[in-house]
């Protein structure tokens, strides 16, 4: 391997690229202009789609909602959250079909545990293949955190 020849070939090719106007535009100018535009456009449209899914209404089916009246009341008071009361089918199936965003299963002793200062258990089902369901999960997690802070404030008083 002769480095002098390799260097000579590299400089020869670079000189040919700079000398030929079309090749220079194709190999240097177009990627410098179009790649940032292309990547910026893709990012922009992804952000717009994500924002649109976050602005949509989140439909939540709550199984055993009567066992958590405080949480259900809190969710009803939130904008962008709607409860799906009757689905006419299995909730997990409705979740897969995209009829609802989230499916919550409240444990039997939820309210008793909350009243005793313990942790109430809720099982959350969501469809990770649907953007709307993921956005609903994010929204629900934020609401539960706020609800939790509210309960902690009440018990501390």
Per-residue model confidence as pLDDT tens digits over 55-93: 778 888 888 888 888 888 888 877 778 887 666 778 888
Compute the mean pLDDT over every residue in the chain, rounded to the nearest whole number.
Answer: 84
Domain locations in the chain? Answer: 3-52, 56-156
What's the rounded Cα separation, in Å, for the pair 100 and 135?
Answer: 12
- Residue 29: phi, psi to the nearest 5? -70, -50
The fold of 56-156 is abc type-2 transporter like fold (3.40.1710)
Look at residue 87 in the predicted model and tell me its pLDDT.
64
User: Can you read off the two tokens belonging to residue 97?
Assistant: 């079909």
Mean pLDDT for the stretch of residues 115-143: 86
Q: Which pLDDT tens digit goes with each residue over 92-121? A: 888 888 888 889 998 888 888 888 878 888
**Percentage of the chain lying above the pLDDT 90 cut:** 10
Q: What is the pTM of this model?
A: 0.62
């Amino acid at each position: 391997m002769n480095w002098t020849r390799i260097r000579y070939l590299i400089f020869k090719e670079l000189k040919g690229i700079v000398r030929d106007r079309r090749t220079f535009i194709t190999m240097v100018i177009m990627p410098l202009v179009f790649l940032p535009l292309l990547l910026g456009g893709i990012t922009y449209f992804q952000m717009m789609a994500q924002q649109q899914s976050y602005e949509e209404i989140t439909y939540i089916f709550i199984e055993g909602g009567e066992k958590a009246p405080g949480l259900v009341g809190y969710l009803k008071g939130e904008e962008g959250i709607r409860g799906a009361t009757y689905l006419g089918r299995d909730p997990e199936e409705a979740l897969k079909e995209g009829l609802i965003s989230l499916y919550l299963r409240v444990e039997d002793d939820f309210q008793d545990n909350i009243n005793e200062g313990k942790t109430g258990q809720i099982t959350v089902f969501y469809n990770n293949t649907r953007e709307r369901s993921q956005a609903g999960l994010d929204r629900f997690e934020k609401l539960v955190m706020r609800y939790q802070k509210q309960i902690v404030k009440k018990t501390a008083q």
